[in-house]
Amino acid sequence: MRVPRIFVEQDLATGQTLTLDERAAHYVSQVLRMRAGRELILFNGDGHAYPATISEAGKKLVSCQLSDQTLPAAPPSPLNIELAIGISKGDRFDWVIQKATELGVSKITPLFTERVDVKLSGERQEKKQRHWQQIMISACEQSGRNDLVDIGDACRLDDWYSSLSSDIKLVLCPSLNEQLAVNNDAANNITLLVGPEGGLSDEEIAYSLKQGFLALQLGPRVLRTETAPIAAISIVQHRWGDMGW
């Protein structure tokens, strides 16, 4: 039986006795319905995984005894990938966050671009940011990641450019008719810029190219906004990161 992985917003140390925070306790006792004696794995984003045994499990209180050793963990990708993507409607954006987390990106920045048809501000935006954070955490729990993805605050595309410092910057451009001209030298930081439904406008693509972006085309087929970034991340991880055949 697979041992559940649980994220906690608490300091963790080998050998300690820990009372789980409210979110984790509810999930363990009410959703998974785990009882005393069951094993689980705790992580908090510090890069380690802590095996633990439940010592007490009630409706609102769950206590665990952590093992004297952490689990050996797969190292994070040597490549820092920022995915900057236009916000899409419905659950498409949730799906992108989930899969991008599984594929090892370091940061996801939601963007308001010319063709974004989603209105977010104030309390509604804060609620959406918390929702995206939870999607990311759930993906880390499922995929075995012990580090967390930085979910940036949603911002305008024009404002986002000033924060860039990547070795390689790629913008998805479906109309490109030539191969990507970039060498295979090692890269440490890569930025991927992807549009929403309908893609980036011609003006946005042109401005990105002036900012030093390279145009990336993903073959002859038109990909959905939730498919294109996943394909691009996979290509980048294979070429410069930790994905192989």
Per residue in 109-131, pLDDT tens? 999 999 998 888 888 899 999 99
Lowest mean pLDDT of 37-41, 74-78, 235-239, name the range: 74-78
Average pLDDT over residues 5-31: 95
CATH superfamily ID and name for 80-240: SPOUT methyltransferase, trefoil knot domain (3.40.1280.10)
pLDDT of residue 245: 67
5-66 matches 80-240 in fold? no
Q: pLDDT for 29-65, tens place per residue?
A: 999 999 999 999 999 999 999 999 999 998 889 999 9
Average pLDDT over residues 221-233: 91
Q: How far apart are CA 64 and CA 51, in angstroms?
A: 10
Percent of the chain with pLDDT over 90: 71
Q: Give the fold, CATH level 3, of 5-66.
A: Ribosomal Protein L25; Chain P (2.40.240)
Token reading at 238: 């294979």
Domains of the chain, residue spans: 5-66, 80-240
Please, is 65 exposed, middle or buried when counting C-beta atoms within 10 Å of its C-beta (0-12, 13-18, 19+)? Answer: middle
pLDDT of residue 240: 87
Whether the per-residue pLDDT at 241 is higher than 60: the answer is yes
